[in-house]
Amino acid sequence: MKLEYTSTDKNKLRLKMSNVFGEEIQTLSTELQNIFLDDLITAFENRLNVLNQAQSIVKLKMAESVEYATF
């Protein structure tokens, strides 16, 4: 399942990240702050997609390898 955020979701995430990193990124120009936040959002989305794919693969492999025995 690939996660895709709407522009509203991205704006909310941008606001949250700018609040978290506010003091640290104040030294950057506004343009660089925007680039930094865009990169963080993209990295966040990509990481979640990779982890969701990995989780799906692991579940499928585990389901295929289960053996049942009757006692």
What's the CA gap between 11 and 23, in Å, rounded? Answer: 19
User: Residue 53: its pLDDT value, please?
Assistant: 85
- Tokens representing 68? 């049942």
Domains of the chain by residue range: 7-64
Mean pLDDT per segment of 10 residues, for the chain of length 71 residues?
Answer: 78 93 94 95 92 76 62 63
**Other CB atoms within 10 Å distance of the CB of residue 14:** 16
What's the CA gap between 18 and 34, in Å, rounded? Answer: 9
User: Residue 18: its pLDDT value, please?
Assistant: 93
Beta strand spans in 1-71 (E): none
User: Residue 3: its pLDDT value, please?
Assistant: 67
What's the CA gap between 19 and 22, in Å, rounded? Answer: 5
User: Residue 54: its pLDDT value, please?
Assistant: 84
Q: Nearest 5 degrees, angle CA 2-CA 42-CA 9?
A: 70
